[in-house]
Amino acid sequence: MMIEENFKALEMRGDELVLLDQRLLPCEEKDFICRSVEDVFFAIKDMVVRGAPAIGGAAGYGVYFAAREACGDRDKFNRLCDYLINARPTAVNLAWAVNRVRKTAEESGFSLDAIRKDADDIVSEDIAMNRKIGEIGSSVIPPHATILTHCNTGALATCGWGTALGVIKTAFYEGKDVFVYADETRPRFQGARLTAWELVRAEIPAALIPDSAAATLIRDGKIDLVILGADRITANGDVANKLGTFALSVICKHYGVPFYSAAPTTTIDFSTPSGDLIPIEERDRSEVTMVNGTKVAPDEIGVYNPSFDVTPHQNITGIITECGIIREPYDMNLEILRRTLGRQNA
Ligand code: MRU
């Protein structure tokens, strides 16, 4: 039986893009409606919708709005598309989705039907890829497994089902005895607010931990594997993901704990050779100095708030994609994958 979530991160209803406002979860389940490129830009930037594949899904509809707003003015359309790409720099799914639908617009002579269909296809393809990632990834989950995850990689972070959390859900629904430790994921608390919310709804046994508790659990042999997502994977297998991922990978490597990243191939940036070239988003200081609107640090303090970090491929046991699990040597195996997918490397 196919288990479905009864919520959606994003859904086109009529001519409106309806987003479940992730800034408000778990306290409120409220929709945020987008009717323009500007609305989609804001929703991505302010993290109403977040998670690389969900950002890509929303951006596809952003291009549809751009085509409507440009009324056949090609320069305006391209300006709006470029504007959308700049909403957040790290997750490559954003540029990938915008450029895919932009190409469809060009090739179809700006047919709104063709553009809308391509945006719809991005969503359905993402869900299908995530289901496949779940099936493939479940093979690395032992029958009894304690799994640590970071950030949110579930249905909220994608067009449906999820990547790393999708693997965990698939294993759980296959009858495996899984227990999940979810990092709270400071400073935006995607683990506490979103992953915990999804785990509770899916009735998967789990505990929420402060990020800094992960090292002790790993050292003490309490974690069988770590599985988390990716915002951008470069041609050599380096993975940009939520801040804290790199530290977890170092601890896992030190203690010999398997460390997996799960992502659709739309998250692979074949044109960037290595992780040091990935633009890392720095977000507002208030994410660190305030918690839920309450000041927790003096105004005078400087803040460094990178949203992501890069994990070198040497620390990664495998990258779980819908096309299989990519392992060392990553550069060679990713090149084979690139050719199989017919993707460009420049
Ligand atoms: O800043 P966010 O919440 O958009 O960051 C999300 C992540 O880092 C996820 O791990 C990644 O996008 C994969 S989501 C399937």
- Burial of 223: CB neighbours in 10 Å, binned 0-12, 13-18, 19+: buried
For residue range 105-143, list pLDDT tens digits in order: 999 999 999 999 999 999 999 999 999 999 999 999 999
Contact 19, 48 (CB under 8 A): yes
Instruction: Judge if 318 and 173 occupy the same domain.
Output: yes
CA of 154 to the centre of ligand 1 (A): 10
3-state SS class at 324: strand
Instruction: Judge if 149 and 99 occupy the same domain.
Output: no
Q: Is residue 346 part of a domain?
A: no
Instruction: Judge if 154 and 121 occupy the same domain.
Output: no
Residue 176 has what pLDDT?
98
- Encoding tokens for residue 308? 């992501």
Q: Is residue 5 part of a domain?
A: no
CATH code at 119?
Answer: 1.20.120.420
Instruction: Judge if 290 and 176 occupy the same domain.
Output: yes
- Encoding tokens for residue 255? 């203690």
CATH code at 310?
Answer: 3.40.50.10470
HSE-up of 328 (CA within 13 Å, CB side)?
A: 7
Residue 29 has what pLDDT?
97
| CA–CA separation, 170 and 145 (whole Å) | 13
Q: Is residue 226 part of a domain?
A: yes
Residues enclosing ligand 1, CB less than 6 A?
50-53, 91, 151, 153, 157-158, 163, 190, 228-231, 241-242, 307
Instruction: Judge if 252 and 202 occupy the same domain.
Output: yes
Other beta carbons within 10 angstroms of residue 4's beta carbon come to 11
Domain range for 325 is 135-341
Of 130, 165, 183, the one marking the end of a domain is 130
Instruction: Judge if 163 and 299 occupy the same domain.
Output: yes
Residue 159 has what pLDDT?
98
Q: Is residue 322 part of a domain?
A: yes
CA of 229 to the centre of ligand 1 (A): 7
Residues whose CB is less than 8 angstroms from the CB of residue 12 and which lie 6 or more positions away in sequence, other chains included: 18, 61, 116, 119, 120, 123
Q: How many folded domains does the chain comprise?
A: 2
Residue 75 among the catalytic residues: no
Instruction: Judge if 125 and 144 occupy the same domain.
Output: no
Catalytic residue among 39, 231, 269, 309: 231
CA of 218 to the centre of ligand 1 (A): 22
For residue range 133-186, list pLDDT tens digits in order: 999 999 999 999 999 999 999 999 999 999 999 999 999 999 999 999 999 999
Instruction: Judge if 177 and 246 occupy the same domain.
Output: yes
Strand pairing partners for 307? none
Q: Is residue 178 part of a domain?
A: yes
Instruction: Judge if 192 and 308 occupy the same domain.
Output: yes
Of 130, 165, 187, the one marking the end of a domain is 130
Instruction: Judge if 108 and 220 occupy the same domain.
Output: no
- Encoding tokens for residue 312? 């070198």
Instruction: Judge if 160 and 193 occupy the same domain.
Output: yes
Pocket perturbation via mutation, ligand 1, pick of 22, 55, 130, 151 by most ligand atoms within 8 A of CB: 151
Inter-axis angle of helices 92-107 and 52-70, nearest 10: 30
Q: Is residue 4 part of a domain?
A: no
- Encoding tokens for residue 87? 């909403």
Instruction: Judge if 153 and 219 occupy the same domain.
Output: yes
Top pLDDT among 2 and 336 is at 336
Q: Is residue 3 part of a domain?
A: no
Of 95, 130, 165, the one marking the end of a domain is 130
Q: Is residue 306 part of a domain?
A: yes
Sign of the C-alpha dihedral, residues 282, 284, 289, 294? negative
Mean pLDDT of the chain: 97
